[in-house]
């Protein structure tokens, strides 16, 4: 059963990577669309970096408390989960911020194509978070 979990988690991440490549291969639109998309991506990246810097001390303090009161393995599991969530969040934000101009450009020609782009860009976040979570839990199960 644990092998199935590893395969499912890895499969979710592989499919998320496939969707990322598919979304980013679409036409990013006009020069104005690309420029605005870059501003959005830059702002989102700054926001995530600020969040990570703010949460890092909280992560450290909570990890120490969990380690002292529950155990070292619980603290390591907490850290693994937090880092996995951060990774999935970054990947999801990376793709979704870059998909906006591609969706807008596609909508100029076909609403169906625009929906495909936006749906797949959104799926990257869900698949990334789920895949990372399943892999981390499976690995922790094997280790402990």
Q: How many domains does the chain have?
A: 1
* 3-class state of residue 22 by DSSP: helix
pLDDT tens for 45-55 read 999 999 999 99
Whether 101 and 33 have beta carbons less than 8 Å apart is answered as yes
The yes-or-no verdict on residue 74 having pLDDT over 90 is: yes
Considering only CA atoms, give the Rg of the chain. 18
Can you tell me the distance from the alpha carbon of 10 to that of 101, in angstroms, rounded to the nearest whole number? 29
Cβ count near 53 (within 10 Å): 9
Instruction: Tell me the longest C-alpha to C-alpha distance in the chain.
Output: 59
The yes-or-no verdict on residue 81 having pLDDT over 90 is: yes
pTM: 0.85
- Domain with 45, as residue range(s), is 2-143
What is the per-residue pLDDT for 92? 87
Can you tell me the distance from the alpha carbon of 122 to that of 24, in angstroms, rounded to the nearest whole number? 13
pLDDT tens for 91-131 read 889 999 999 999 999 999 999 999 999 999 999 999 999 99
Can you tell me the distance from the alpha carbon of 30 to that of 32, in angstroms, rounded to the nearest whole number? 5
Q: What is the DSSP letter of 26?
A: S
């Amino acid at each position: 059963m644990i092998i199935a979990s590893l395969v499912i988690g890895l499969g979710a991440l592989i499919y998320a990577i496939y969707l990322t490549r598919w979304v980013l291969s679409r036409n990013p639109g006009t020069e104005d669309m690309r420029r605005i998309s870059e501003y959005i991506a830059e702002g989102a990246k700054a926001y995530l970096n600020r969040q990570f810097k703010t949460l890092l001390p909280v992560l450290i303090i909570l990890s120490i408390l969990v380690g002292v009161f529950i155990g070292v393995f619980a603290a390591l599991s907490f850290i693994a989960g937090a880092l996995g969530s951060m990774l999935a969040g970054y990947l999801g934000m990376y793709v979704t911020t870059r998909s906006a101009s591609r969706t807008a450009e596609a909508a100029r020609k076909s609403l169906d194509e625009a929906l495909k782009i936006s749906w797949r860009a959104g799926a990257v976040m869900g698949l990334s978070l789920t895949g990372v979570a399943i892999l981390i839990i499976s690995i922790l199960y094997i280790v402990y």
